[in-house]
Amino acid sequence: MLANIKKNNQMKKLITIAIFIIFLIGNAFGQSNDKIKLYSANELRDDVDSLTKYIEEVHPNAFFKFPKDKFYKKTDSIKSIIDKPMSDFDFYFLVSPLVAKLEDGHTSIQPPVKEYFSTNPVIFPYLLKLSAKEPYLVFDREIAKTMKSKIPHNALIISINDIASNQIINDLANLSSGESKSFRLARINDVFFFYLYGLYGEKSNYTIKYKLNNITETENISCIHLDSLMKMKKRDTSISKENKPKDYSLSINKENKTAIIDFESFNDVKIFKIFIDSAFQQIKENKTENLIIDIRNNGGGNSIIGDEFFQYISHENFMQVAKSKTKNSRLMKEFYKMMFAKTQDSLLLYRLNNPDGLGEFQSDSLIKLRENPLRFSGTIYLLTSTNTFSSAAFFAQCFKYYKMGQIIGEETGGWMVHYGDLVFAKLPNSKLTLSISHTLWYEIGAKENDFHGTIPDINVPSEKALDYTLELIKNQ
């Protein structure tokens, strides 16, 4: 059953990525000159009804956070103000706060990025770090490597067009689905330009006030046209790929006998197996005594990578998932039939044969440790933050439950008990895509109502966690 759980997680991520790429690239180029389609008020009110119907049919417990009566009051309020035709773009900004009220990161409306590009395909030229706490907005980098920025890297953004950064963060969080504010912000970071226009209307020019080294400056910036961006991206391919962030890397300090594995993503099982074996070979050869595993910025991926990692640091058999509760429904089975036709995945066929209703699956088989001469026996520290999600959050909870070492940093953004396993459905008129959870996951050691992240042993702001840990090792 655990293997099936992992296959489902992987399938869910592939589906999500595929839909996003279709929206962002395929529709951006294919429909950039099309006239904006408007939907009648009756069609959109029908879509609101379909949205609520789909959520209730598929989700095991949609109103676990936000009461059902309040949800339907907001639904009626939305329907009452739909009194004229509107585009799917405007409709999205009307209904996405409703879905966000459910506080389920996997139950959401996919943003209609195609509509954004169809009107005037220009893009805010910078990527920012969004945070639920101060500093709220920090300049990260240009959207293309060959661009030159007017704003220094790591500058604190005070305001955009006189809208304070904390106000922007609150407005963004209200539009995005997620269990925590940090999760909500992380999932919309790459399409910040879309939300900036949808919320505040400006699309071409922005006035940005920022601070660096206690000096406040103001810059006027122009957005970049999609065609120009794509040309820049082509030039970017000629730049060395050495600067591309690695999913995982190893550094060893021989003086303090400490190794650091910087673990950015749970991607590519085959490459990871090669990396992790080589890493622990070097750790052994250097007689390393302390190991720091850094997953502060790890958004997850394939949990099989976590299982493989534990083969090198765990000293007992383990499991990451304790149990799951899955709701089978007509809509879920229609979606799985479509996916089975495309993938021929036997797991999908297995799900199709289950009766409708709620079923519970217990993970009763531990993953056994294999013989491993490279298994680490020193002191281990795991660094976490509110940006530790999905499979990375599973990893953190498993690490804590089996007492593999100390966790230092912040509570994980991913919760110990959370909903997942996506069913996708299109609203009948606007064709907006709705994703709905139909499984409730329990990480190992989770109690029934543990709707929170894994708590660190030592609570330290994430940006200080590594320095704190190195100092801790130094003073041993």
Crossing angle (nearest 10°) for helices 41-58 and 330-343: 90
Q: Return the pLDDT at 164.
A: 98
Tokens coding 343: 């993938």
Tokens coding 327: 């709701």
Tokens coding 398: 């498993």
Strand 406-409 relative to strand 458-459, pairing: parallel
Is the pLDDT at 21 greater than 90, yes or no? no
Q: Return the pLDDT at 225.
A: 86
Contacts 24+ apart (CB under 8 A), 268-273: 269/302, 269/304, 269/305, 269/308, 271/247, 272/247, 272/248, 272/305, 272/308, 273/308
d(CA 205, CA 164): 17
Give the pLDDT band (50/70/90) at residue 126. very high
d(CA 138, CA 466): 20
Q: Return the pLDDT at 20.
A: 41
Is the pLDDT at 19 greater than 90, yes or no? no
Which of helix, strand or coil describes residue 439? strand
Q: What's the whole-number mean pLDDT along residues 20-39?
A: 53
Gyration radius of the chain's alpha carbons: 23
CB 221 within 8 A of CB 253: no
Q: Return the pLDDT at 64.
A: 93
Calculate the alpha carbon distances from 65 to 100, 335, 475 in Å.
11, 26, 44
Is the pLDDT at 118 greater than 80, yes or no? no
Helices (DSSP H) in 22-104: which residue ranges? 27-30, 41-58, 68-81, 88-100
Asked which of 62-66, 123-127, 216-220 is least confident by mean pLDDT, the reply is 123-127
d(CA 9, CA 331): 19
Q: Return the pLDDT at 81.
A: 97
Tokens coding 407: 């966790």
Q: Return the pLDDT at 18.
A: 37
Task: Name the architecture of domain 122-241.
Answer: Roll (2.30)
Q: Return the pLDDT at 237.
A: 61
Q: What's the whole-number mean pLDDT along residues 125-139?
A: 93
CB 410 within 8 A of CB 383: no
Strand partners for 384: 409
d(CA 206, CA 202): 8
CB 277 within 8 A of CB 285: no
Residues 6+ positions from 255 with CB-CB distance below 8 Å? none
Sign, CA dihedral 399-404-409-411, equals positive
Q: Return the pLDDT at 34.
A: 53
Q: What's the whole-number mean pLDDT along residues 222-230?
A: 85
Q: Return the pLDDT at 31.
A: 40
- Provide, rounded to the nearest whole percent, the portion of the chain with pLDDT above 90: 69
Q: Return the pLDDT at 255.
A: 93
The separation between the first and the last C-alpha atoms of the chain, rounded to the nearest angstrom, is: 43
Q: Return the pLDDT at 219.
A: 96
Q: Which amino acid is at 422?
A: L
CB 95 within 8 A of CB 109: yes
Crossing angle (nearest 10°) for helices 68-81 and 88-100: 160
d(CA 128, CA 143): 10
What is the per-residue pLDDT across 354-402, written as a single tens digit (0 to 9) for each? Answer: 899 999 988 878 999 999 999 999 999 999 998 898 899 999 999 999 9
Domains 122-241 and 248-329+359-474 share a fold: no
d(CA 418, CA 137): 28
CB 469 within 8 A of CB 418: no
DSSP letters for 347-392: HHHHHHTSPSEEEEEE---PBPPPP-TT---SEEEEEE-TT--HHH
- Provide, rounded to the nearest whole percent, the portion of the chain with pLDDT above 70: 90
CB 206 within 8 A of CB 200: no
User: Structure pTM?
Assistant: 0.82
What is the per-residue pLDDT across 147-158, written as a single tens digit (0 to 9) for each? Answer: 888 899 999 999
Give the pLDDT band (50/70/90) at residue 236. low
CB 108 within 8 A of CB 191: no
d(CA 420, CA 9): 8
Q: Return the pLDDT at 73.
A: 98
What is the per-residue pLDDT across 447-459, written as a single tens digit (0 to 9) for each? Answer: 999 999 999 999 9
Give the pLDDT band (50/70/90) at residue 102. very high
CB 119 within 8 A of CB 87: no
Is the pLDDT at 204 greater than 90, yes or no? no
d(CA 2, CA 359): 15
Q: Return the pLDDT at 387.
A: 87
What is the per-residue pLDDT across 395-442, written as a single tens digit (0 to 9) for each? Answer: 999 999 999 999 999 999 889 999 988 999 999 999 999 999 999 999
Is the pLDDT at 30 greater than 70, yes or no? no
Q: Return the pLDDT at 120.
A: 62
Q: What's the CATH fold of domain 248-329+359-474? A: 2-enoyl-CoA Hydratase; Chain A, domain 1 (3.90.226)
Q: Return the pLDDT at 244.
A: 53
Asked which of 46-55, 152-161, 273-282, 351-360 is least confident by mean pLDDT, the reply is 351-360
Task: Please provide the average confidence, as pLDDT, over all residues in the chain.
Answer: 89
Strand partners for 139: 128
| pLDDT higher at 283 or 341 | 283
Q: Return the pLDDT at 307.
A: 97
Q: Return the pLDDT at 22.
A: 38
Q: Return the pLDDT at 350.
A: 78
Domain ranges of the chain: 122-241, 248-329+359-474
**Residue written as tokens 């706490």?**
133
Q: Return the pLDDT at 10.
A: 42
Tokens coding 436: 């709905």
Give the pLDDT band (50/70/90) at residue 23. very low
